[in-house]
Amino acid sequence: MSAITSRIKGMTLEQKLRLMEDLWEDLSRKTAGLEPPAWHADVLAARELAVDSGQAQFESWSDAKDRIERDIR
């Protein structure tokens, strides 16, 4: 186990969440040169085609949150 992992294991939940927020903020400022994988374009194109052809299905954000909560229980 690395020294960093050991320190993280000793943190409270609040400290871990703060660390995640700080890491995300730092990473989001350093996106130069970061390209999405090629397969992302394929997925987006397929989704756009589904929308254009009327085959895409949507749900309200409220319904989506309820479904996600049920799925993770």
Considering the domain architecture, whether residues 28 and 40 belong to the same structural domain is answered as no
Handedness of CA 45, 51, 56, 59 (dihedral sign): positive
Instruction: Measure the CA–CA gap between 41 and 43, rounded to whole angstroms.
Output: 6
Instruction: Give the domain range for residue 4.
Output: 1-34
Number of compact structural domains in the chain: 2
Shared-domain flag, residues 50 and 66: yes
Q: Are residues 24 and 58 in the same domain?
A: no
What is the tens place of the pLDDT at every residue in 31-60? Answer: 777 888 999 999 999 999 999 999 999 999
- Residue 22 reports pLDDT greater than 90: yes
Task: State whether 44 and 72 are in the same domain.
Answer: yes
Q: Are residues 30 and 44 in the same domain?
A: no
Q: Cα separation of 66 and 60, whole Å?
A: 10
21 and 5 in one domain? yes
Q: Which two tokens stand for residue 35?
A: 């390209």
Tell me the percentage of the chain whose pLDDT exceeds 70.
100
